[in-house]
Amino acid sequence: MAISLTDAAANRVRTFIENRGKGLGLRLGVKTTGCSGLAYVLEFVDELEEGDSVFEHQDVKVIVDAKSLVYLDGTQLDFVKNGLNEGFEFTNPNQKDECGCGESFTV
Amino acid sequence: MALLQIAEPGQSTNPHEHKLAIGIDLGTTNSLVASVRSGEAKVLPDSQGRFSLPSVVHYGADRTVNVGFAAKANAENDPENTIVSVKRFLGRGLADINSTYGKLPYIFVEKQNKLSLLTSQGEKNPIEVSAEILYVLKQQAENTLGGDLVGAVITVPAHFDDAQRQGTKDAAQLAGINVLRLINEPTAAAVAYGLDSGQEGIVAIYDLGGGTFDISILRLNKGVFEVLSTGGDTALGGDDFDSKIVESILAKAGIDTELSAKSLRKLADLGCKIKEQLSDTDSVDYEIEIESQTTPQKISGSFSKQDFENSIADLVKSTLRSCRRALKDADVEKEQVLEVVMVGGSTRVPYVREQVKAFFAREPLTSIDPDQVVAIGASIQADLLAGNKPDSDMLLLDVTPLSLGLETMGGLVEKVIPRNTTIPVARAQEFTTYKDGQTMMAIHVLQGERELVDDCRSLARFVLKDIPPLTAGIAVIRVTFNIDADGLLSVTALEKSTGVESSIQVKPSYGLEQFEIADMIKASMTNAKEDIQARMLREQQVDAIRMMEALDAAMSESPELLSEDDKLAIEQAIGKLKLTTQGTDGQAIKHAIKFLDDTSQPFAARRMENSIKVALTGHSVDAV
């Protein structure tokens, strides 16, 4: 089981955590909701919870709970610029389909 | 693929429900918009990478409205229709404006105490003009953030009165912006530096912009900033620094005759350039060609930092006099001031910083761009008000130990409040009816992390009656979960068109021991895969049943549209779907649904055509 970050994503996460002044790392997760069943979760982490797995890339920690890991295994997180907007993008091999907006997906 | 931002722990929003909030610095000369993304407050640039939008609106004779840089370009050739610094007129009467500003290029109209400006597109009041600026900022923010905004915090000068504040609010409303709050500009600057979560006490905000100077003395008390006093000069700013440089250059060159407007413009630009360069160097050489009494004349020389400081010393001294007065008005001593915040582009001038530092006997805060600090503070406040951050100033009372949700068709749980949400909290979700003519809805409140009702804990059940009988999916039932500070959960269901309401109260954590809660969370993790598969299967089953029922109804309603062959094919497809639905292969059910959908497509198309025909019969083609 593994989750990875691109260098661009790792750099941004590091900066964001430095700006925030605290935080262990970045939480990736999924939750059941949205128009296509599942939606991604992206949050700062202040404390680890039971069952969390921790992955590291360039000293940036990515934390995933056991429930989400099933659906995120092999996922790569990237940071991209799209016109004026910028943000994180998931490349998830488990994902079969997504809604038009790309915010929710099915496995 | 939508681009995601990092949320605070436990604050992730559902898809399409991102709580995008912005802070707007609606300035006299320039306006800015900022937002917090991934925990970082930043000013949002326009498509050309510019951070500030000139607060200028141009009403063209060809009905076009330009805002910002495009409008500013018209200021010289169409001054009457180019509204510059409209903020000065907000909430003001004509008498006020005439006495304060003297001669302005606009045609003012006053009717029933309402002031308007006559432009090539008719009368425009200051609220409408301000709304044009706000609208552009809103568009810019929505393009950058990629979604609709929840609302905005807009800053106003601390000395704004009720009429001016109301005017700002009205302008925002006209621009389609939901105002979360108006906050004072100096307060926003203090928030940007995080002073709201720091030591309680007195803070001074020194704001020297392009054309105005404001000093505000604030007191932070229990997380709230109170404005103790304000002062300043509405006609003193960086532009005056530029003209002092120009005066000095002309005096040196011995020119005292009247100059052409073009030459004056050129000189003003030179003054501004020299001022900016002197922030980093000790001396600037210049050369400029001007027209004095229609004869071109070249002047050149060198302007030193010392020259500059000598020429602006009086102006800076006058700002410090205002500071002294404001302190006196606030009834505080200089020594009581904990922090001094620098705002406005003119505070970049090293001499200004030195003098302010000497006056207050402390190093002023300058690390945030002084042009952006107000917008940044507003965006931080907006982020907080939109609920993206567990409010650090609010007493953190408790969190929900387990998720709370509702039963939906197929025995599935739709979570409304996720676990670890800080309380008090209220969340609402909309549901609809499942069957045609459904008049009741059972609300089943559940607690737990699992996907199926059977695996969660049932808290309460109640029924919403008197839903108007409508086609399935039309009625909108809003279910609100509200947990108060004491941890009491109340669930309210409301049918939106009729306003029929029903509710119940429960105490969710009642009778649950700590270890039971831990077990429930653990079970949701060990059973994750099975749970989601079970959920997918149930969802497919629900879809299948809904589709078969709908088709059944349609077939008995309009049998005449069905050929014998079609009927047979559809019946066969239904039979197949019925069989697969009883099994446990979600993928197979999905395929069977698709097959039935394809098979019944021609029938559905005919029904559609028929109903259009029925609706149009008796109407002439022209009327349609």
Domain final residue pick, B310, B336, B369? B310
Contact status, residue B56 vs residue B67, Cβ threshold 8 Å: yes
Together in a domain, B457 and B530:
no
Together in a domain, B29 and B139:
yes
Residues in chain B within 8 Å Cβ distance of A87: 2-5, 37-38, 146
Write down the pLDDT at residue B536. Answer: 81
For residue B525, give the nearest of A34, A38, A51 by CB distance: A51
* B342 has a pLDDT exceeding 90: yes
| Bigger pLDDT: B127 vs B617 | B127
Write down the pLDDT at residue B151. Answer: 92
B65-67 and B53-54 as β-strands: parallel, antiparallel, unpaired?
Answer: unpaired
**Residue where the block lists tokens 């532009």:** B239
| Bigger pLDDT: B258 vs B153 | B153
| Bigger pLDDT: B522 vs B465 | B465
pTM for the complete prediction?
A: 0.62
Look at A43 and B418 and tell me if their CB atoms are within 8 Å: no
pLDDT tens per residue across span B410-440? 788 888 888 766 666 788 888 888 888 888 8
pLDDT tens per residue across span B270-311? 998 999 999 889 999 998 888 766 678 888 889 999 999 999
Q: Does any domain span residue B451? A: yes
* B267 has a pLDDT exceeding 60: yes
Q: Does any domain span residue B577? A: yes
For residue B15, give the nearest of A33, A65, A106 by CB distance: A33
Together in a domain, B77 and B62:
yes
Mean pLDDT of B158-175: 83
Which residue range is the domain that position B601 belongs to?
524-614
Q: What is the full DSSP assignment across B377-411?
A: HHHHHHHHHTT-S--SSS---EE-SS-EEEEETTT
Q: How far apart are CA B80 and CA B57, in angstroms?
A: 11
Q: Which tokens hold the place of B332? A: 């505080």
Together in a domain, B200 and B145:
yes
Look at B528 and A67 and tell me if their CB atoms are within 8 Å: yes
Q: What is the full DSSP assignment across B343-368?
A: ESGGGGSHHHHHHHHHHHTSPPB-SS
Confidence of residue B213 (pLDDT cuts 50, 70, 90): very high
Write down the pLDDT at residue B395. Answer: 30
Mean pLDDT of B465-473: 83
Percent of chain B topping pLDDT 90: 28
Contact status, residue B157 vs residue B205, Cβ threshold 8 Å: no
* B313 has a pLDDT exceeding 90: yes
Mean pLDDT of B355-363: 96
Contact status, residue B313 vs residue B298, Cβ threshold 8 Å: no
For residue A20, give the nearest of B39, B414, B535 by CB distance: B39
Contact status, residue B574 vs residue B597, Cβ threshold 8 Å: no
Element (H, E) at A16: helix A7-20
3-state SS, residue A84: coil
For residue B146, give the nearest of A67, A85, A89 by CB distance: A85
| Bigger pLDDT: A84 vs B209 | B209
Min CA distance, A22 vs chain B (Å)? 11
Report the number of distinct structural domains present in chain B.
4
Q: Which amino acid appears at position B591 of this protein?
A: H
Nearest Cα to Cα of residue B522 among B411, B419, B375: B419
Write down the pLDDT at residue B396. Answer: 26
Nearest Cα to Cα of residue B132 among B200, B82, B206, B78: B82
What CATH number is attached to the domain comprising B252? Answer: 3.90.640.10
Contact status, residue B365 vs residue B339, Cβ threshold 8 Å: yes
* B393 has a pLDDT exceeding 50: no
Q: Which tokens hold the place of B405? A: 């949700």
Burial of B565: CB neighbours in 10 Å, binned 0-12, 13-18, 19+: exposed
Domain final residue pick, B310, B339, B374? B310
pLDDT tens per residue across span B529-587? 777 778 888 888 888 888 888 888 888 888 888 888 888 888 888 888 888 888 888 88
- Residue B388 DSSP code: -
Write down the pLDDT at residue B622. Answer: 57
Q: Does any domain span residue B468? A: yes
Confidence of residue B263 (pLDDT cuts 50, 70, 90): confident
Write down the pLDDT at residue B68. Answer: 94
3 state SS for B484-541:
CCCCCEEEEEEECCCCCEEEEEECCCCCCCHHHHHHHHHHHHHCHHHHHHHHHHHHHH
What CATH number is attached to the domain comprising B533? Answer: 1.20.1270.10
Write down the pLDDT at residue B350. Answer: 94
Write down the pLDDT at residue B42. Answer: 92
Q: Does any domain span residue B55? A: yes
Contact status, residue A19 vs residue B39, Cβ threshold 8 Å: yes
Write down the pLDDT at residue B131. Answer: 95
Lowest-confidence region among B267-271, B520-524, B618-622? B618-622
Contacts of B385 (CB under 8 A, 6+ apart): B21, B151, B153, B180, B181
pLDDT tens per residue across span A68-82? 888 888 888 999 887
Together in a domain, B505 and B528:
no
Look at B525 and A107 and tell me if their CB atoms are within 8 Å: no
- Tell me the helix, strand and coil percentages in chain B, rounded to 5: 40, 30, 30
| Bigger pLDDT: B515 vs B327 | B327
Contact status, residue B489 vs residue B404, Cβ threshold 8 Å: yes
Which residues of B belong to the active site? 25, 87, 185, 207
Low-confidence ranges of chain A (pLDDT < 50): none
Q: Does the interface predicted TM-score (ipTM) exceed 0.85? A: no
| Bigger pLDDT: B109 vs B515 | B109
Min CA distance, B212 vs chain A (Å)? 32
What's the CATH number for A4-106?
2.60.300.12
Q: Does any domain span residue B280? A: yes
Confidence of residue B154 (pLDDT cuts 50, 70, 90): very high
Q: How far apart are CA B470 and CA B539, in angstroms?
A: 23
Q: Does any domain span residue B6? A: no
Contact status, residue B155 vs residue B179, Cβ threshold 8 Å: no
Together in a domain, B224 and B254:
no
Mean pLDDT of B485-495: 76
Contact status, residue B157 vs residue B343, Cβ threshold 8 Å: no
Mean pLDDT of B2-25: 78
Mean pLDDT of B71-93: 85
Write down the pLDDT at residue B351. Answer: 95
For residue B3, give the nearest of A32, A37, A88 by CB distance: A88
Write down the pLDDT at residue B15. Answer: 60
Residues in chain A within 8 Å Cβ distance of B37: 87
3-state SS, residue B546: helix
Min CA distance, B398 vs chain A (Å)? 16
H and E: helices and strands count for chain B: 14, 28
* B162 has a pLDDT exceeding 70: no
Residues in chain B within 8 Å Cβ distance of A94: none
Q: Between A and B, how many CB-CB pairs are < 8 A?
A: 120
* B397 has a pLDDT exceeding 50: no
Residues in chain B within 8 Å Cβ distance of A65: 525
Mean pLDDT of B168-193: 89
Write down the pLDDT at residue B537. Answer: 83
Q: Does any domain span residue B620? A: no
Burial of B468: CB neighbours in 10 Å, binned 0-12, 13-18, 19+: middle
Together in a domain, B222 and B342:
yes
Domain final residue pick, B459, B484, B512? B512
What CATH number is attached to the domain comprising B491? Answer: 2.60.34.10
Window 64-93 of A: residues touching B by CB (8 A cutoff) are: 65-68, 70-71, 80, 82-90
Write down the pLDDT at residue B239. Answer: 87
Write down the pLDDT at residue B588. Answer: 86
Percent of chain B topping pLDDT 70: 89
Look at B6 and A40 and tell me if their CB atoms are within 8 Å: no
Q: How far apart are CA B189 and CA B544, in angstroms?
A: 58
Together in a domain, B122 and B49:
yes
Q: How high is the mean pLDDT of chain B?
A: 84
Write down the pLDDT at residue B177. Answer: 93
Look at B2 and A103 and tell me if their CB atoms are within 8 Å: yes
Rg (CA), chain A: 14
Nearest CA in chain B to A72: B529
Together in a domain, B48 and B182:
yes
